[in-house]
Structure 1
C-alpha cells in the first residue's frame, strides 16, 4: 500500500469505517453520568414594582432626576418576576455557582437537582463585574454531587467540550462542541471580559450551566450567546461564551469572606493598536500600553512608567488591556507576578505585588452647608478603593461630588455626580476639610474650578 507524503506535513490519513465494536460504541455517556448530577436548575423569584401606563422613559434614572416633581403620579403595581437558569454544584457542602443575572434582585431562590430534589438557596456572594453568583443550599445529611474544576489556562482551541444546562426550561440538556477561541476580550458582556468561545449549543436557560472538558472537570460557566437578532431574542448560532474556571475560582474564594477584594494594578492602560505598535517599534499590535500611573501604587513601586508596554504576565502573552485586567483580577492579594514589559524598544522584567486598592484617605462623606454656592452638595475624599466601589476613575485624586440636594445652591450651580473639585479661589483642594474651610473663608465671592471628564470648568459666583 502506497501513501503520499507531503514534505513538511503530517501523513494524510484515509477515512475508514470503525474496525471494532468498541470503536462503534464510543460515547460521552460515562462522562455525562459522572458530571450531569452536579448541574442544577436555578429558579428565582423577585417582586417588581411598576406603574402601568407610564412610558418606560420616565422609569429611567436620568429622567427621574431631571423632571423631579413633574413626574406623573400614577398608582404603583407589584408583580412577580420569575427567572430560570442553570448552575453547577462545585462543593458537596452545597456550594452552587451560577450567573449573577439569573438571581439578581431575587427574593427567593430555589435549586433543583437533576434527580428532582429541591432545596431553598441563599445568596453568599453576587459579583456583577463577572456576572457570577455563589449560592448555598442546605441538604442536611443528604449526599450532594459536585464537579471538580480545572485550570482553564490549559485549554486549547480545538479541545472538545460539553455544555450542560437547562435551555428553554425543557430539562437538563447536553450539547457537544469544541473550544472555538480563547481570551475573547471584546465581547462587552462583563467588566472582566475574557471568555472561552465555543460552538457547543448554548441557549436561553443555559446561563450558569457547566462547560466541561473531556476529563470531566469544569472549564467554564456558560453565560451568553451571540445574537444578531433585534431585541436580543435568539437561539444558538454556534457562538457561545463561558466564563473561565480560573475566574470562577477567584469568586469562590471571595465567597468565603463574603466580599471580593481584587488586586489592583495602579495604572491606566490601553490596548496597543496597529498604529501604536508602529510608533512603539513592535512588529505587531500586542500588549497593554500604560497611560498613567498612580503615585505609590503597585505599578509605580514595580518601576513601571507611562509609555511602558506590558507584553507578558507570568510568561503568558498579554494580547490587549482586557487580558491584563483578567490576569491581575484572577490573582490573590499577597502574591507577586512577573511582567515582561518594553520601554524605548528594550524588554525588561518587573515584579508586581498583588495588593488591594488603597483605601486612604478615608472617604469622610460630608454634606456641605452654609451660604456657599456648593451648599447642598454631598462630597467625599477620593481613594482608589472608594473610586472603584462608586464607579469612578480609580486613579482620580481629590474631592468628588456624590450628588446634590434638590433645590440647593449646588444643584442650581449645575454640579454633577463625579465632578472633582480642583480649587476654590485658587486654593488647591485635596480633602473635604480643605474644601469646607476654603468655602467658608471666602468673603462673599467664590471662584470654583471643577474637573468634569477631561475638562476643567471654572466659574465665579458672587454671594
Structure 2
C-alpha cells in the first residue's frame, strides 16, 4: 500500500496536497484588547483593608477557592457542596485582632465612588485604594449589601477620577470579556476569556444570578470588574470554584444590572431595602402539580406562612401555590423571591394563587426584608 501511495503522489504532483477549505466558516483573527485596556485600566484600583476580627484558633485553615470570605459567609456552603473541606469545629474565641486583606474595585463616578465586594471590606477599620498610577487614597465605606456581596466606597480626597460605565444589557454566552484586578497583590492584571454561562446559582442566597466566566480570576480579584469589548462593566468578580484555591477557569461575577440597582440604593441610603413576602416556599414538581390539579409544574408552593408576616396578613396559607405577581407568571420559588425583592416595602401588589383547584386573586402589601 505504501508503494501505491507513493506512486499516486508522484503522478499527480503537489497540486493534490492542498489545505482543506471549510465552506461556510469565516476565518477571523483573535481580537486585540489593548485599546480597551488603555481606556479602562486607570479606573480599576487595588483595595487594601485593615479589619478588626474575632477569630478562633482553628480558623486559619478555611476552605480554599473563595478568597477573603469572613467566617460564616454563605458562599462557604458552595465550597462544601463541591467537595471542599469544612471549616472544622469552632474553638474558644480570642480577643479581636487586626487582619490585613486585599481585593479589587473600580471607580463608577468622577467624584470618587468605588464599587467592590462586601466580603473585601467586611469589618473594615481602615480602607486604602491604590490607583493604576500607584497613588494611595484613603476611603470610607458608604454602604454594604451582604445578600449580593456588594459594597460602595467613597474616596476621602476630592478630585476628578477616571471611571467606567456599567453595561445596560446582558452579555451573550460566548462573548469575549476582560477581568482586571489585583490577584495576589499584582495590581493592574488583565486576563481575557468568554462568558461561559449565565444565571448560575451557587447556593450563596436567594438572589444568585451569576455570570460564569473563564477569564483567569484568583485571590485578590474579588470586587474587580469584568468588561465587555466596549469597555463597559458587565459584572463584578466575586467568587471562584477551585479545589486548589487557584484559577481553574470557573469564576463568577455579579451581573451589571444587579450592581446598578444595589449601588443606587447604597449611594442614597447606605443600605438596600427589599420587598419581603414572609413565607417558606418549595418548588412545584410534576408530582406536586398533578396532586393539586395544576396543568404545568410552575409556581411556588407555600410550605409555611410566617405568623403575622405579610403573606399571612394577606390571607395566604400553607398549600397555596403562587402562580403570578401583578399578572407576570412565576416559574419557580427562586423567581418569586427575586420578583418580590424588587418591590419597595409597602408597595401594593396582586398575587395570583392556586387554591382548592381554582385560581384566585389576592391583594398583598409587600413587607420589608429583615437585615442580613
TM-score (norm 1): 0.59
Q: 1:41 aligns with which of 37, 46, 55?
A: 46
Unpaired runs of at least 5, structure 2: 1-21, 62-87
1:131 maps to 2:172: no
User: What is the aligned length?
Assistant: 324
Give the equivalent residue in structure 2 for 1:81: 99
Are the equivalent residues in 1 in contact too, given 2:278–2:305 (CA < 8 A)? yes
Aligned counterparts of 1:36 and 1:316: Cα–Cα separation in 2: 41
Give the equivalent residue in structure 1 for 2:77: none
Give the equivalent residue in structure 1 for 2:178: 162
Give the equivalent residue in structure 2 for 1:177: 193
Q: 2:241 aligns with which of 226, 231, 238?
A: 226
Deviation of the 1:278 alpha carbon: 4.2
Worse-matched range after superposition: 337-346 or 159-168:
337-346
Deviation of the 1:324 alpha carbon: 2.5
Deviation of the 1:143 alpha carbon: 1.6
Aligned counterparts of 2:261 and 2:187: Cα–Cα separation in 1: 29
CA, structure 1 residues 289+151, in 2 after alignment: closer, same or farther (shift >3 Å)? farther
CA, structure 1 residues 17+269, in 2 after alignment: closer, same or farther (shift >3 Å)? closer
Aligned counterparts of 1:160 and 1:336: Cα–Cα separation in 2: 41
The higher relative CO (CA closer than 8 Å, separation ≥ 6) is in 2
Give the equivalent residue in structure 2 for 1:322: 334
The 5-angstrom pairing of residues 10-409 of structure 1 reads 14-18=24-28, 26-47=31-52, 80-140=98-158, 142-151=159-168, 154-185=170-201, 187-190=202-205, 192-227=207-242, 229=243, 233-255=244-266, 256-280=268-292, 286-294=298-306, 298-299=310-311, 305-311=317-323, 318-333=330-345, 342-343=354-355, 353-357=365-369, 388-389=370-371
Deviation of the 1:302 alpha carbon: 6.5
Q: Deviations over 1:375-418 (max 9, x none)?
A: xxxxxxxxxxxxx34x7xxxxxxxxxxxxxxxxxxxxxxxxxxx
CA, structure 1 residues 133+16, in 2 after alignment: closer, same or farther (shift >3 Å)? closer
Deviation of the 1:40 alpha carbon: 1.4
Unpaired runs of at least 5, structure 1: 1-11, 19-23, 65-70, 358-387, 392-463
Deviation of the 1:82 alpha carbon: 1.4
- Structure 1 or 2, whichever has the larger Rg, is 1
Q: Deviations over 1:353-382 (max 9, x none)?
A: 54425xxxxxxxxxxxxxxxxxxxxxxxxx
Aligned counterparts of 1:104 and 1:158: Cα–Cα separation in 2: 33
Aligned counterparts of 2:309 and 2:280: Cα–Cα separation in 1: 12
Are the equivalent residues in 1 in contact too, given 2:210–2:253 (CA < 8 A)? yes
Deviation of the 1:134 alpha carbon: 1.4
- Counterpart of 1:236 in 2: which secondary structure? coil
Are the equivalent residues in 2 in contact too, given 1:40–1:112 (CA < 8 A)? yes
- Counterpart of 2:269 in 1: which secondary structure? coil
Deviation of the 1:207 alpha carbon: 0.5
Aligned counterparts of 1:308 and 1:202: Cα–Cα separation in 2: 44
Are the equivalent residues in 1 in contact too, given 2:206–2:337 (CA < 8 A)? no
Query: What is the Cα-based RMSD across aligned positions, in Å?
Result: 3.8
